[in-house]
Structure 1
Amino acid sequence: MFFNSWYDLLRLVIVGSFAYAGLIMILQTTGKRTLAKMNAFDLVVTVAFGSTFASAILNKDVSLSEALAAFALLCGLQYCVTFLSVRSERFQDLIKAEPRLLFHRGRFLEAAMRDERVTKEEILATMRSAGVADLSGVDAVVLETDGSFSVVRGGTPGPMGTMANVNGADDAGDA
């Protein structure tokens, strides 16, 4: 239970080191975008990297070459998805979510909050985390495509240019 064999430890060190080095080389080749957490697909790839790495070093049935092939496949698929989404608006609409406006200039947008399954308390917690004490200092709270919240501070009456692609911003009058 606490120790199986020296061979198992040696295998873990060797396979782990080579898998790590291989993953780093593959990530260097495919660029920063591979590990960006901009949407759900990015999150899936990041989690899959971790799972594949763990399988490679802990599961004796997974060879180093299989792990490296899996890393390359994940990077390749991520590259294809991002390549197509940058070049095809139709493909982008198919795979990516839109950011959603949940709070606008002192008003909680109840329908949007219900659709996104977000509570008022979660929005208030997000504002507190952003250092906001007074709701009047917040122009908007947006649920981003990666599931994080953005707090847009302001207090200025004009349009907010960063809200151009946010679902619900048109209805709030700020696109």
Structure 2
Amino acid sequence: MFFDSWENIYRVIVVGVLAYAGLVVLLRISGNRTLSKMNAFDLVVTVAFGSTLSTILVNKNVSLAMGLTALALLVVLQLVITWCSVRSSLVSNLVKTSPTLLVLDGQLRHAALQRVRVTSDEVMVAVRQQGFGSLDSIDAVFLETDGSLSVISTSQAGDRSAYRDLLPPHS
């Protein structure tokens, strides 16, 4: 239970170093976008990388070649999906969410909060973390595709061009 053999330890070390090196090479080839956490889809891919690497390390039934093939497959699939999502709004809408407007003109949008399962307390935390004491000085708060909250004060809003497309009609 606590120790099987030195052979198993040796295998984990050798396969771990080689699998890790292989993953680093694959990620360098694929570019920065592969591990970015821009949305839920990217997070799932990142978790899949970790799970696959873990399986390669501890499962004797998974050879190094098989594990590296699995990692390469994840990289290729990530590249294909991101390539398609840049070129097709249908694919993009399937794998990515849009930012959600939670506060507009200092007013909480309760239906939006409920839809994305964010509490008003969580919004208030984000507002306070940005140094604001009330919603009166807040133009907008967005739940971004990566799960973070963006707080935009009225003094920073400008012409709202960075989020005009996310506003409801007549705003």
Structure 1 residues 130 and 54: alpha-carbon distance in aligned structure 2, compared to 1, 3 A threshold: farther
How far, CA to CA, are the matches of 1:134 and 1:20 in structure 2? 48
Superposition TM-score, scaled by structure 2 size: 0.91
The runs of 5 or more residues in structure 2 that have no matched partner are none
Structure 1 residues 120 and 53: alpha-carbon distance in aligned structure 2, compared to 1, 3 A threshold: same
How far off is 1:157 after superposition? 7.0
- Which deviates the most, 122-131 or 30-39? 122-131
How far, CA to CA, are the matches of 1:128 and 1:62 in structure 2? 49
1:18 aligns with 2:36: no
Q: Equivalent residue for 1:63?
A: 63
Q: Equivalent residue for 2:99?
A: 99
Counterpart secondary structure, 2:92: helix
How far off is 1:161 after superposition? 1.5
- Which deviates the most, 46-55 or 146-155? 146-155
How far, CA to CA, are the matches of 2:80 and 2:10 in structure 1? 36
How far, CA to CA, are the matches of 2:163 and 2:48 in structure 1? 32
How far, CA to CA, are the matches of 1:156 and 1:5 in structure 2? 62
Are the equivalent residues in 2 in contact too, given 1:30–1:79 (CA < 8 A)? yes
CA-to-aligned-CA distance 1:34-63 (integer Å, 9 cap, x gap): 001111210110000000111111111111
1:123 aligns with 2:129: no
Q: Equivalent residue for 2:149?
A: 149
Counterpart secondary structure, 2:103: strand
How far, CA to CA, are the matches of 1:63 and 1:157 in structure 2? 55
Are the equivalent residues in 1 in contact too, given 2:107–2:135 (CA < 8 A)? no
How far off is 1:77 after superposition? 0.6
How far off is 1:144 after superposition? 1.1
How far, CA to CA, are the matches of 1:39 and 1:120 in structure 2? 22
Name the % identity. 46
Q: Equivalent residue for 2:83?
A: 83
Are the equivalent residues in 2 in contact too, given 1:99–1:165 (CA < 8 A)? no
Q: Number of paired residues?
A: 171
Q: Equivalent residue for 1:170?
A: 168
How far off is 1:29 after superposition? 0.3
- Which deviates the most, 1-10 or 130-139? 130-139
The runs of 5 or more residues in structure 1 that have no matched partner are none
How far, CA to CA, are the matches of 2:156 and 2:144 in structure 1? 22
Structure 1 residues 165 and 97: alpha-carbon distance in aligned structure 2, compared to 1, 3 A threshold: farther
How far, CA to CA, are the matches of 2:22 and 2:170 in structure 1? 49
Superposition TM-score, scaled by structure 1 size: 0.89
How far off is 1:67 after superposition? 1.2
Q: Equivalent residue for 2:108?
A: 108
Q: Equivalent residue for 2:50?
A: 50
